[in-house]
Amino acid sequence: MNRVMLTGGGGFVAGNIIGQSAPELKVHAIETREVSFRRNNLSWHAVDLLDTPALKSLFDHIRPDVVVHAAALSDIDFCEAHRDQAERVNVAVTRVLAELCREMNSRMIYFSSDSVFDGETGNYSEENEPQPLNVYARTKVDAENIVAHTVPDWVIVRPSLVLGLPAFAAGNSFLWRMMQALQEGNTVAFPSEEIRSPIDVITLSRAILELAEHDYKGYLHLSGNDALSRLAMARRIARRLGYEEAVVVDKKPDVEGERARRPRDVSLSNRRAKQILKTPLRSFSEGLDLALTHKGVERP
């Protein structure tokens, strides 16, 4: 395996995958915006994934061994308010990529989410059935089904909340947004009733790169070892950054209904991932340390 096509290259997670990639691996990263970062093993392709002819022609040109499909509309409240757009980007684009992977015999690694579960029980394994509660989660489940039924060589990863710093731009990193707010002297609010088992972005990136060369096929939950509320998580981060815990306040339930519905406890069991991967999965503290010491990509 030597050619990887990576969608969402300028985003939070995919940017870190680029940062962790070995020099021998040729990475073709797709992004709509110009990203100034350059590296010998990296080619940028400015393509809107909704432009199917452009995507097909790029696929024919690259002929990827592996497609890592990380691009998505990942803002849950935006997806709730823009259902058609969410379906076009998160579902229709995945269908095009899945069909191209089948035609070209490419392995496909699709980024789903812990949010596919309803959060009633927590500690979800790959055997549990998804029960999506919001538009974003429904688009992820629809895309999962397309990948599993279209591509012969597929992996669907369901990461938990991802902890880390963006490589190029803010993207979907809550840690980065929290650090910005604290540096500006603001308090931050996180809900006590949303439980996750966060994974740091460096471990996640290494796991994805390992999976690119692995023969595992199926669903895989990628999470850290600890389940904790978003409030507890943020308080531990604040302490680690040298702030008083009081800078993190409890975010009250959304009585006005302005936020999309969130599942209560979507902590994941990472038992299967631990059996399959050499990449070690970490405790919350270890993951936070790793995330804070790898600030984006090292310049060559």
Ligand X SMILES: NC(=O)c1ccc[n+]([C@@H]2O[C@H](COP(=O)([O-])OP(=O)(O)OC[C@H]3O[C@@H](n4cnc5c(N)ncnc54)[C@H](OP(=O)(O)O)[C@@H]3O)[C@@H](O)[C@H]2O)c1
Q: Which residues bind ligand X (CB under 6 A)?
A: 8, 10-14, 30-33, 48-50, 70-74, 89, 111, 113, 159, 161-162, 171-172
Nearer to ligand X, 163 or 248 (CB): 163
Give min distance, CB of 246 to ligand X, in A: 25
Nearer to ligand X, 65 or 144 (CB): 144
Nearer to ligand X, 48 or 213 (CB): 48
Give min distance, CB of 235 to ligand X, in A: 18
Nearer to ligand X, 14 or 207 (CB): 14
Separation CA 98–CA 106 (nearest Å): 9
69 closest CA partner among 30, 22, 36:
30
Nearer to ligand X, 255 or 290 (CB): 290
- Spell out a b/e string for 199-222, using b for 16 or more CB atoms within 10 Å of the CB, else e: bbbbbbbbbbbebbebeeeebbbb
Nearer to ligand X, 106 or 113 (CB): 113
Give min distance, CB of 164 to ligand X, in A: 9
Give min distance, CB of 94 to ligand X, in A: 10
Q: Among all residues, whose Cβ is closest to ligand X?
A: 11
Separation CA 166–CA 175 (nearest Å): 9
Give min distance, CB of 13 to ligand X, in A: 3
Beta strand spans in the chain (E):
3-7, 26-31, 42-46, 66-69, 107-111, 154-159, 162-163, 188-190, 195-196, 199-200, 218-222, 228-229, 248-250
- Listed in sequence order, the residues at least 6 apart from 242 whose beta carbon sits closer than 8 Å to its beta carbon are none
Give min distance, CB of 62 to ligand X, in A: 15
137 closest CA partner among 123, 116, 152:
116
Nearer to ligand X, 32 or 41 (CB): 32
Give min distance, CB of 218 to ligand X, in A: 17
- Burial zone of 255 (CB within 10 Å; 0-12 exposed, 13-18 middle, 19+ buried): exposed
Separation CA 275–CA 25 (nearest Å): 25
Q: Locate 38 and state its tokens.
A: 């350059």
Decide: 116 and 137 in contact? Cβ < 8 Å.
Answer: yes
